Amino acid sequence: MLDLSVVQAHEAIAAGELDASQYAEAWAAAAAKDELNAYLWRPEGAAAEGAIAVESPTAAPVAVKDIFCTEGAPTTAGSRILEGYRPPYTATAVRKLLEAGAPILGKLNMDEFAMGSSNENSAYGPVLNPWDRDRVPGGSSGGSAAVVAGGLAPWAIGTDTGGSIRQPASLCGIVGLKPTYGAISRYGMIAFASSLDQCGPLTRDVRDAALMLGILQGKDPCDSTSVGLPEAPRLPDREDLNGLRFAVPADLARDAIEPGVREVFEATLATIERLGGEIAEVPLPHAEHGISAYYVIAPAEASSNLARYDGVRYGMRAEASGDVIEMYEATRAQGFGPEVKRRIMLGTYALSSGYYEAYYGQAQKVRTKIAGDFAAAFEDFDFVVTPTSPSVAFELGEKTSDPLAMYLNDFFTVPMSLAGIPAISIPAGLAEPAGGGPRLPVGFQIAAPAFGEQGLLDAAYALEQAIAFEARPAGAPYPPIEGEKRTGSGGGGDG
């Protein structure tokens, strides 16, 4: 029964051909076999009861990134500073899944406060890529991508600030969808950069992503930035791409893309044309400045959001012999990891008197220009397409000493986040890493105008069916998960 997609399982449950409780128990047993360091917490015994439990499951169980508050269950955001914290309320996205009958399989490992592109910044050690356990799964939703790709959960939710859903989906060979900003409530989602953070699904296929989006989307009175979608999405069923126009950025940094990734990208463009889609280049002149603008805006907002972690209200409190200021300093020094501290310092500097307009204000102007570039492109095209990541999954520790190299992993995903538009990553094939080794998944990114999720899902589904990507190495239903857990920490990058 674990081979079924979520849509197939739901149809079988509705038809009385599959017992929902047995299905949930089977997935709980699969999650218990985690050897990827993906689960930080799983409900057991009395802990399985209460606000995170579903009395009579009617939907597929879901794994939840540990950035979502869950009443009575640990919520750490991958940080020591929140160790032992049990929120008094549940995030709206999680509550909607529970109300839909989906039990919570557990809370998932992640880059600390969602700051990273490799999941090496977690205070609880890195998640391992199920395709190759010497490589990263991507980040910051690396745990969410790894459990779906590794057969430890049927689907999962993550968050995307600059690519944190799409990039790990690409590196793990699954589907990752970042909806339009405001389509899903952020209430109860621990904040990193409030003007960018967005919840979204990580699934085995596009139809499962559409199903989850339908559950999650909607306006929430607890989140004034949420507006929902104009209409609840339906399951996509499009078979061709006739009449659709796809834009490739004219200034696409092809030299920065690994040869294998570039080959898969070009092959996918050929598939689009074979399905009847039209491809042409479009100028996005300000997109190349997306990384620079993002790494001013995101740290600035993070420095403000993370000021609340001081050892007084929740989370850990360090022992300090001096006054309350020394306690604050000791708690933040011990509780935050290197990358979080780097972001706080950068953001605080960018917001300081005399520098605000020169840095944060200027970055916001670039953001507006990038949004304008996309708006102009969508006057003539239905979608903009790029590789999701410039490389396949890289080795653990390969980029931790070079934060700039890590940041560039988000080169193709950040512009869509800055513009607030929806984008999806679908597996497009396999490619050999630049340094050689077994072939690994490559993601193909499709972006659409704001609130264009239905058209985006339809096009992604048609392309997915034509590619027929077999996301299972060695002929196994799921990648093997043997091997030992690794621990360590890294720096840089962002999702």
Q: Are residues 191 and 62 in the same domain?
A: yes
pLDDT at 116 over 50: yes
End-to-end Cα distance, the chain: 32
Q: Does the annotation mark 164 as catalytic?
A: yes
In a shared domain, residues 46 and 145: yes
Q: Clarify whether residues 82 and 226 are in a common domain.
A: yes
The Cα 140–Cα 110 span in angstroms is 5
Q: Quick one: 181 and 325 in the same domain?
A: no
Are 203 and 97 in contact by the 8 Å Cβ rule? The answer is no
Mean pLDDT of 98-118: 96
Does residue 332 lie within any of the structural domains? yes
Q: Is 65 a residue of the active site?
A: yes
Question: Nearest to residue 217, comparing CAs of 182, 186, 184?
Answer: 184
> Is 485 a member of any domain?
no
Q: 482 pLDDT exceeds 80? A: no
Q: Indicate if the pLDDT at residue 183 is higher than 50.
A: yes
Same domain, 100 and 23: yes
Residue 448 and residue 382: Cα distance in Å, rounded?
A: 7
Q: Which helix (H) or strand (E) holds 455?
A: helix 453-467
% residues pLDDT > 70 (the chain): 93
- CATH code, 465: 3.90.1300.10
- Over the stretch 360-378, which tens digit does the pLDDT of each residue have? 999 999 999 999 999 999 9
Residues 104 and 141 in one domain: yes
**pLDDT over threshold 80, residue 168:** yes
Among 79, 117, 122, 140, the active-site one is: 140
Please give the C-alpha separations between residue 494 and each of 153, 214, 490, in angstroms, as whole numbers. Answer: 24, 27, 12
Question: Is 372 within the bounds of a domain?
Answer: no
Q: Is 88 in the same domain as 224?
A: yes
Together in a domain, 334 and 398: no
**Residue ranges making up the domain that contains 143:** 6-244+388-475
Q: Which residues contact 60 (CB under 8 A, 6 or more apart)?
A: 6, 9, 10, 23, 24, 27, 102, 154, 155
Q: Is residue 251 part of a domain?
A: no
* Residue 272, domain member (yes or no): no
- 155 lies in the same domain as 95: yes
Token pair, residue 259, equals 């040869």
Catalytic residue among 79, 117, 122, 164: 164
pLDDT of the residue at 51: 67
Phi, psi of 194 (to 5 degrees): -60, -30
Across 318-329, average pLDDT:
87
218 and 294 share a domain? no
Indicate the pLDDT class of residue 485, thresholds 50, 70 and 90.
very low
Average pLDDT, the chain: 91
* List 65, 96, 178, 399, catalytic entry: 65
218 and 308 share a domain?
no
Q: Are residues 354 and 438 in the same domain?
A: no
- Average pLDDT value for residue range 187-211: 97
| Residue 356: CB atoms within 10 Å | 13
